[in-house]
Amino acid sequence: MADYKSELVGTHPSIQALRKLIERVAKSPARTVLIYGETGTGKGLVARMIHQASARAAREFVDINCAAIPASLLESELFGHERGAFTGAVERKLGLIEAANNGSVFLDEIRELDPPLQTKLLSLLDTQQFRRVGAVKPTTVDVRFIAATNKVLLAEVSAGKFREDLYYRLQVVALNLPALRERGDDVLRLAQYFISKYNVMYKRNITGLAPETEDIFQRYAWPGNVRELENLLERIFILEEDDLILPQHLPARILRSVNASTVARHTEGLPAVPEGSFRDATEAFQRLMLARALDAADGNLQAAATRLGLSRHALRHQMIKLGLGSA
């Protein structure tokens, strides 16, 4: 069994508090848990951690994305159906909830459930019973439901999109996951964790982030959170050959996002990053990073190269290319 606990990386107080809450919730008899968090914050990971730390760990954990299954099929997927219940139902099918009996069901994007299914879910939570599509007799199950959403469900209730009674039934225990931009230096810890992971997967030996890249990572807002960070690093493993992750390896959108504040704080007179091409944005930021490294090293090329993770020859080549030196 995978150890999902090791994947909740970080030392920020919000993450330390979250670990303790996961353990407490997991060991409780609570049958419903609600997880809030922006897209990419790790709601699925936390749901698996709750299951793995509970007495239900030896049984099934069923992951259902309510937004990924068409509403017309979701009822049958969740509750199953009897033979002949509808055209094409040639045999009885057990639903995902029944398959998770004595285990856990993770309902991601719970707000996407349509009203009839919200009603059926509420009845199941209240009675621990449901009927397969086309069934006469109810089926009894013992399941913990872990629901997740990136929206404030109470606002969905106010808008008439989510049942108020179901909201309060799910809200018994709620966990709020912090956004990556709120976690301070955890972005660097997570980056190193993913670098170690992909070094093994891709048989590479990338040592880490250059100091300038660390600075960018800490300034960037990470709207896609941990998922965006991981996807970015895997892309770099696939496309780049250097053994250190440098600013020029980052997409122009990230460089543009942090460029304005960085330039304002650290430089004067350097060309502004244009809103146009990737090359222009990247070269402007490379020029900024090289200028800062040279300034920090008092013009010593070897010291600046070491700071940037480059050889002295590679630094001179970049300086010539970017108009910071002559051949």
Out of 178, 208, 237, pick the residue that ends a domain: 178
Task: State whether 102 and 228 are in the same domain.
Answer: no
pLDDT at 270: 43
Domain membership of residue 80 as a residue range: 4-178
CATH number, domain containing residue 140: 3.40.50.300
Query: Is residue 326 in a domain?
Result: no
Beta carbons of 190 and 10 less than 8 angstroms apart: yes
CATH label of the domain that carries residue 258: 1.10.8.60
Q: Encode pLDDT of 24-54 as tens digits.
A: 999 999 999 999 999 999 999 999 999 999 9
Do 199 and 308 share a domain, yes or no? Answer: yes
Q: Specify whether 80 is located in the same domain as 140.
A: yes
Same domain? For 121 and 228 the reply is no
The count of domains in the chain is 2
**How far is it, in rounded angstroms, from Cα 44 to Cα 63?**
8
Long-range CB contact pairs, 276-280, < 8 A, 24+: 277/252, 278/251, 278/252
Pairwise CA distance, residues 244 & 182, whole Å = 26
| Residues 2-18: tens digit of each pLDDT | 677 788 999 999 999 99
Q: What is the pLDDT of residue 322?
A: 76
pTM: 0.78
* Percent of the chain residues topping a pLDDT of 70: 91
Per DSSP, the three-state class of 63 is strand
First to last CA, the chain: 58
Average pLDDT over residues 136-155: 92
